[in-house]
Structure 1
């Protein structure tokens, strides 16, 4: 089944392997009992390549720690989505793309929440097969098997029960740096078009320097070698999202609220240029 996944889709297996590894730590930031099954055999192999590039034997680490970053990102968005779900008026949560996410299965959700997982058919088919019949979501869970580059994925989402007239919460996790800049704008525009006022959005995004700095080459070359290079970064994520009506904050791992005692590196002020950054963007549609 993994043979049907393309290069970008396989990065979801890396994420699952990272979550499985985090779940084994005594100081884990979350526990994902489904991650190992979702990672399959390929996920640990991808993770081994990332670890070899990030923690070269006999040399000081110069790349960001992917395991720590992924742990913080997962916990940050766990908390963000669960906070959004506490609002009785927030009845729709959309993961686009869903990848190997298991939040619908491993976290508790209020009964008013309807959960949508949007991803390509091959991804959702692999995921369903790996989870097996015994895995049960803890919420009203809807799979929407469609490519986000499709000209009418919004129709498929609405056919699954989504109502654009009601507030929704969107998570675009592990997506924006893999797609060209025009596609980023197109997706944000289309999400905004089906998000009622008061809707919420969250995403992760790197800055432009993260795509070009020489000391990032070790990690960038791994992803490029897999056929899924990083293609887009923004130094002003607040402005990017504001173009489409979202009033957002962008925090970096290691800053208050996005640390959890795990980020190992300094966090340069935003005024410092030519340093790699990653942002957790989160906010509302006005």
Structure 2
């Protein structure tokens, strides 16, 4: 079935393979018992290519450690979603895109939560086949949409989403694969569906991460797969504020986004010309 996934969709298999590897690791930051089956046959091969680029034989690593980054990102957003779900007034969670994420199946959720997973039909079909016989632990709704479609909002509404009630949106592994104009369009559309007090989280690289020579090894891997990184922002707070969200941008390795795993220095925000990743998180004004 993996031949039915396009290059961007197949990156979800990489994420699943990274989560499977973390689950096998002593001192893991989380356990994802479904990651290995979601990674399929192709996920480990994608991970092997990233490992060669990240940890080149016989040379010191000069790229960010993808396994450590992914482990921290997953745990950070696990905690974000878990905390948000404890609020009785926060009744809806939306993953856009859902990819091979298994949080609906591996985490415990309060009974007041309705959980929506948005992704393209091929991704959701692959995922359903891999998770056959596994029941979600939440009131779960899969919504087959392409987030570039003109009518995906209506299909979310048809699935039971209520735009008058606060929601939690997670845009994980999305924004660096789409052009800047599409990023603004996406945030505008999410904002239009988000009642005041709704929460949002996303990951984002800075502009330098797309151009620094030492990043070429990793960037070339994704470009070679047909899914180059297209967008980064040095001012994520301003980017989200333009669409009505008041957010913080936390870098891996900073307080609350380290978990004893980030291996590299964290340059202060005023330092230019360095690669950065941001975990953006905040609320709709």
- Counterpart mapping for 1:208-227 below 5 A: 208-227=207-226
CA shift for structure 1 position 109 = 0.3
Instruction: Quote the Cα distance in structure 2 between the aligned partners of 1:131 and 1:105.
Output: 9
Partner of 1:275: 274
Q: Deviations over 1:140-192 (max 9, x none)?
A: 00000000000010000000000000000000000000000100000000000
CA shift for structure 1 position 132 = 1.2
**RMSD value, Cα:** 0.3
- Match of 2:141, SS state, is strand
Aligned residues: 285
- Match of 1:282, SS state, is strand
CA shift for structure 1 position 5 = 0.3
Partner of 1:258: 257
**2:49 matched to 1:49?**
yes
- Match of 1:123, SS state, is helix
Instruction: Quote the Cα distance in structure 1 between the aligned partners of 2:143 and 2:210.
Output: 31
- Counterpart mapping for 1:119-158 below 5 A: 119-133=119-133, 135-158=134-157
**2:181 matched to 1:182?**
yes
Partner of 2:244: 245
Instruction: Quote the Cα distance in structure 2 between the aligned partners of 1:111 and 1:263.
Output: 34
Partner of 1:204: 203
Structure 2 portions without partners, runs of 5+: none
Structure 1 portions without partners, runs of 5+: none
TM-score normalised over the length of structure 2: 1.00
Instruction: Quote the Cα distance in structure 2 between the aligned partners of 1:147 and 1:165.
Output: 23
Instruction: Quote the Cα distance in structure 2 between the aligned partners of 1:191 and 1:207.
Output: 21
CA shift for structure 1 position 85 = 0.1
CA shift for structure 1 position 102 = 0.1
- Match of 1:228, SS state, is coil
**2:22 matched to 1:22?**
yes
Instruction: Quote the Cα distance in structure 2 between the aligned partners of 1:57 and 1:231.
Output: 28
TM-score normalised over the length of structure 1: 0.99
Q: Deviations over 1:11-60 (max 9, x none)?
A: 00000000000000111000000000000010000000000000011100
Q: Deviations over 1:70-127 (max 9, x none)?
A: 0000000000000000000100000000000000000000000000000000000000
CA shift for structure 1 position 273 = 0.2
Instruction: Quote the Cα distance in structure 1 between the aligned partners of 2:164 and 2:208.
Output: 38
- Match of 1:231, SS state, is coil
Partner of 2:63: 63
Q: Deviations over 1:231-254 (max 9, x none)?
A: 000000000000010000000000
- Match of 2:273, SS state, is coil
